[in-house]
Amino acid sequence: MKSRRNFLQKLTLSAVSLPLIPGLKSSSFPGWQKSVFQDRMLRVAIMGLGSYGTRVAEAMQDSKKAKLVGVISGTPSKISAWQEKYNIPSKNCYNYENFDAIKDNPDIDAVYIITPNALHHPQTLRVAAARKHVICEKPMALNAEQGREMVEACKNAGVQLLVGYRMHFEANTLEVIRMREAGEFGEIKFFQGLSGFKIGDPSQWRLNKELAGGGAMMDIGIYSINGARYMIGKEPIWVTAQETKTDPVKFKEGVDETILFQFGFPEGIVASCLSTYSMGNLDRFFLNGTQGFAEMQPSTGYGPIKGKTHKGPLDNPHITHQTVQMDRMAEIILEGETAKVPVDGEEGLKDLIIIDTIYKAVASGRKEPIQLG
Amino acid sequence: MKSRRNFLQKLTLSAVSLPLIPGLKSSSFPGWQKSVFQDRMLRVAIMGLGSYGTRVAEAMQDSKKAKLVGVISGTPSKISAWQEKYNIPSKNCYNYENFDAIKDNPDIDAVYIITPNALHHPQTLRVAAARKHVICEKPMALNAEQGREMVEACKNAGVQLLVGYRMHFEANTLEVIRMREAGEFGEIKFFQGLSGFKIGDPSQWRLNKELAGGGAMMDIGIYSINGARYMIGKEPIWVTAQETKTDPVKFKEGVDETILFQFGFPEGIVASCLSTYSMGNLDRFFLNGTQGFAEMQPSTGYGPIKGKTHKGPLDNPHITHQTVQMDRMAEIILEGETAKVPVDGEEGLKDLIIIDTIYKAVASGRKEPIQLG
CATH of the domain at A226: 3.30.360.10
Q: Mean pLDDT across chain A, nearest whole number? A: 91
- The alpha carbon of residue A199 is apart from the nearest alpha carbon of chain B, in Å, by 12
Q: For residue A32, how many C-alpha atoms fall within 13 Å in the half-sphere facing its CB?
A: 15
For A50-63, write each residue's pLDDT tens digit. 999 999 999 999 99
pLDDT value of position A340:
61
Contact A270 B240 (CB under 8 A): no
Shared-domain flag, residues B40 and B56: yes
Nearest to A89 by CA among A79, A98, A102, A99: A79
Q: For an interface test with A, which of B232, B256, B270, B308 has the most A Cβ atoms less than 10 Å from its Cβ?
A: B270
Residues of B whose CB is below 8 A from A290: 198, 279-280
Contact A278 B366 (CB under 8 A): no
Shared-domain flag, residues A146 and A199: no
Residues of A whose CB is below 8 A from B365: 366-367
DSSP one-letter code for B344: B
For B57-111, write each residue's pLDDT tens digit. 999 999 999 999 999 999 999 999 999 999 999 999 999 999 999 999 999 999 9
Shared-domain flag, residues A190 and A161: no
Instruction: Write out the E strands in A120-269.
Output: 133-136, 161-163, 188-198, 238-244, 258-264
Residue A331 lies in a domain: no
CATH of the domain at A36: 3.40.50.720
Residue B279 has its nearest CB partner, among A190, A244, A310, at: A190
- The alpha carbon of residue A245 is apart from the nearest alpha carbon of chain B, in Å, by 6
Residue B321 lies in a domain: no
Shared-domain flag, residues A198 and A128: no
Shared-domain flag, residues B275 and B305: yes
Structural domains in chain B (count): 2
Rounded to an integer, the average pLDDT of A183-197 is 97
Q: Catalytic: B223?
A: yes
pLDDT at B9 over 80: no
Residue B146 lies in a domain: yes
pLDDT value of position A335:
84
For A73-126, write each residue's pLDDT tens digit. 999 999 999 999 999 999 999 999 999 999 999 999 999 999 999 999 999 999
Residue A189 lies in a domain: yes
Shared-domain flag, residues B231 and B118: no
Nearest residue in B to A269, CA atom: B244
Residues 6+ apart with CB under 8 A from A84: none
Shared-domain flag, residues A89 and A54: yes
> What strands lie across the sheet with A307-309, from one edge to the other?
A312-313, A307-309, A293-296, A278-289, A188-198, A270-276, A258-264, A238-244, A368-369
Residue B281 has its nearest CB partner, among A198, A276, A293, at: A293
Domain stop point among A108, A140, A166:
A166
- The alpha carbon of residue A275 is apart from the nearest alpha carbon of chain B, in Å, by 11
Shared-domain flag, residues B13 and B137: yes
Shared-domain flag, residues A141 and A239: no
Domain that includes residue B134, residue range: 2-166
Q: Is B311 helix (H, G, I), strand (E, B) or coil?
A: coil
DSSP one-letter code for B291: S
> Which residues are A44's β-sheet partners?
A68, A110
- The alpha carbon of residue A244 is apart from the nearest alpha carbon of chain B, in Å, by 6
Contact B268 A244 (CB under 8 A): yes
Residue B288 has its nearest CB partner, among A245, A268, A279, at: A279
The 3-state secondary structure of A65-116, one letter per residue: CEEEEEEECCCHHHHHHHHHHHCCCHHHEECCCCHHHHHHCCCCCEEEECCC
Residue A101 lies in a domain: yes
Residue A329 lies in a domain: no
Catalytic annotation, pick one of A223, A230, A277, A359 = A223
For residue A139, whether the previous peptide bond is cis, meaning omega lies within 30 degrees of 0, is yes
Shared-domain flag, residues B219 and B110: no
For A202-221, write each residue's pLDDT tens digit. 999 999 999 999 999 999 99
Domain stop point among A166, A186, A205:
A166
Angle formed at CA B43 by CA B40 and CA B48, multiple of 5 degrees: 160
Q: Catalytic: B234?
A: no
Shared-domain flag, residues B137 and B275: no
> Which residues are B71's β-sheet partners?
B46, B93
pLDDT at B167 over 50: yes
Q: For an interface test with A, which of B242, B275, B311, B367 has the most A Cβ atoms less than 10 Å from its Cβ?
A: B242
Shared-domain flag, residues B189 and B137: no
